[in-house]
Amino acid sequence: QSALTQPPSASGSPGQSVTISCTGTSSDIGAYDYVSWYQQHPGKAPKLIIYEVNKRPSGVPDRFSGSKSGNTASLTVSGLQSDDAADYHCASYAGSNRGVFGTGTKVTVL
Amino acid sequence: EVQLVESGGGLVQPGGSLRLSCAASGFNFNKSWMTWVRQAPGKGLDWVANINDNGKQKYYVDSVKGRFTISRDNVRNSVYLQINTLRAEDTAVYYCARDSAYNRLDSWGQGTLVTVSS
């Protein structure tokens, strides 16, 4: 049940794209298409923005997209806006009714 | 509107105990899996425990087994986390969340802060 690995930080200018990776193992990301991503602004609760690798909940802009290859999932934020500056956390179903989160990535909009 | 409201956090000495509560409204609570997630200061999210809709299935991360107990009351629409033998490393904001399927946590509470210190 080790945490999924994310880069500590990522950045981009307004209008640009940023992609965040999330690396797990063949027991979590590699085994299931149940990867989710959460956005968290300072002092706030996390918010679900991607589930089942690439699906967006109602109300989440299509600037947010997800993908997966092998044991690594990725989140891409296109057309960066100032409000996208936040922490982003990946998560995966890990089997046996348990979940696991990533180490978190701080996104800065330059 | 889905609402989750946690309570019960506070300052506690090492070795102490706390019972966290999460009151749910706005959805069919007795058909929903519920999960507790914690976040230590300045750190990422940690999956802690979850419970199925009728309370008969409970799962924990290895690091809290034997010290934490998750439970629920479907009459009171609440889920609980009993935390015993608290350690400094348990200091965190504890969130409850609705798990709509395979760790898809689609609604979160605002969190309750637990601080373990002498």
Q: What is the pLDDT of residues B53-105, one digit of tens each?
A: 999 999 999 999 999 999 999 999 999 999 999 999 999 999 999 999 999 99
CA atoms of A20 and B44, how far apart (whole Å)? 15
Give the pLDDT confidence score for residue A1 in this predicted structure.
Answer: 78
List chain A residues with CB under 8 Å of B65: none
b/e code B13-48 from CB counts within 10 Å (16+ = b): eeeeebebbbbbeebebeebbbbbbbbeeeebbbbb
Q: Which of A6, A45, A104 sits opposite B108 (nearest CB)?
A: A45
Give the pLDDT confidence score for residue B63 in this predicted structure.
Answer: 92
pLDDT digits (tens, 9 = 90+) for B2-51: 999 999 999 999 999 999 999 999 999 999 999 999 999 999 999 999 99
Give the pLDDT confidence score for residue B12 in this predicted structure.
Answer: 97
Q: What is the DSSP string of B18-50?
A: EEEEEEEESS-GGG-EEEEEEE-TTS-EEEEEE
**Number of inter-chain CB pairs under 8 A, A vs B:** 70
A91: nearest CA partner in chain B? B103
DSSP tag of A3: P
**Are B108 and A100 within 8 A, CB to CB?**
no
Token pair in block for residue B92: 């965190």
Q: Nearest C-alpha of chain B: how many angstroms from A79? A: 24
B110: nearest CA partner in chain A? A45
Q: Nearest C-alpha of chain A: how many angstroms from B65? A: 13
| Number of helices (H), then strands (E), in chain B | 0, 11
Please compute, for residue A96, the number of CA atoms within 13 A of its CA located in the half-sphere on the CB side.
Answer: 9
**Are B45 and A57 within 8 A, CB to CB?**
no
DSSP tag of A107: E
Please compute, for residue A53, the number of CA atoms within 13 A of its CA located in the half-sphere on the CB side.
Answer: 14
CA atoms of A42 and B40, how far apart (whole Å)? 14
> Which of A 48-67 lie inside 8 A of B, CB atoms?
48, 51-52, 57
Give the pLDDT confidence score for residue B117 in this predicted structure.
Answer: 96
Give the pLDDT confidence score for residue B51 in this predicted structure.
Answer: 98
For A10, A93, B50, the CA distances from B35, given in Å and listed in that order, are: 29, 13, 4
Q: How high is the mean pLDDT in each 10-residue block of chain A (110 residues)?
A: 95 97 97 98 97 97 98 98 98 95 97
List chain A residues with CB under 8 Å of B37: 46, 101
